[in-house]
Amino acid sequence: MNKAELLWAEFDKTHTLEARNALVMHYLPLVKGLVCRMAPTYRRHVEFDDLMSCGLLGLMDAIDRFDTNKDVKFETYASLRIRGEIVDQIRKQDWAPISLRQKIKKVEEGFQVLEGKLGRSATEAEVAGFLSMNPEDVKKTLDESNTFNIICLDELLVDRVKSHELINTRDETPEEHFESNEMKDILAGCIDLLPEKERLVISLYYHEEMTLKEIGLTLGVSESRVSQIHSKAILSLKNKMKQALPYG
């Protein structure tokens, strides 16, 4: 047995506070890693220490809930729980004023309508012309909406995990298995339709787990520009998913 397996065996056997704390200390680097990656997105709304506190609560919750008999890596399960605690904390705050939400919605709808007409991804300049906005204002809105989009995606992910846990007391039906695979295929297909730079940013952010700053250094552009590209990619994905899904 490796160290993690020994710690879990002790916790499953005794369920003592000491055994639980040993697991917390062992997985503390997981919390730090996630918080450091999420901090640049949420730093305007939550202090780093508060993010760490939320992350630790998520870790402890994951340890208490985790079933070692399931064929799931604890790190995967705990990561979702840690993100969930942070998202719940963000939900409690009025972090986005109504004016910003309205502006984001306006730009999002502009992209959706234009992409429907053009049959391809629209540029910021095209959307600016369509909405009679200054192109720089569209870029600024995309930059400001980046946090909004990531939070929305995190909320969706957390809610889907909670919903899955409610039905996880029974085996997945063939229909649920099919729908899960279908959703993955549709998402992959939508990502393939994105412009090359947007696909690259999505890949680096979600698969390579690079920060926006690191992506900017890799691509030779500013962090703000990466934020804009990321937001535009997410908006396009949301629009493409709506068109591709056979249900709401």
Measured CA distances, 168 to 79, 88, 162, 163, 210 (Å): 18, 22, 10, 9, 32
Percentage of residues of the chain with pLDDT beyond 90: 28
Q: Which of residues 1 and 29 earns the better pLDDT score? A: 29
Q: Is residue 231 within 8 Å of 146, Cβ to Cβ?
A: yes
Q: Which domains does the chain have, with CATH numbers?
A: 3-91 (1.10.1740.10), 98-244 (1.20.140)
For 141-191, the pLDDT digits (tens) are 888 777 666 666 555 555 555 545 543 434 444 444 444 455 566 667 778
Q: Which of residues 87 and 125 earns the better pLDDT score? A: 125
pLDDT at 155: 58
SS3 content of the chain, % helix, strand, coil (to 5): 80, 0, 20
pLDDT at 105: 86
For 18-53, the pLDDT digits (tens) are 999 999 999 999 999 888 877 776 766 678 888 899
pLDDT at 178: 42
- pLDDT of residue 125 exceeding 50, the answer is yes
Three-point CA angle 198, 238, 176, nearest 5°:
115
Q: What is the mean pLDDT of residues 117-132?
A: 90
Q: Which of 30, 58, 18 is nearest to 158 (CA)?
A: 58
Tell me, what amino acid is at 2? N
pLDDT at 85: 86
Distance, in Å, from the CA atom of 241 to the CA atom of 191, rounded to the nearest integer, reads 10
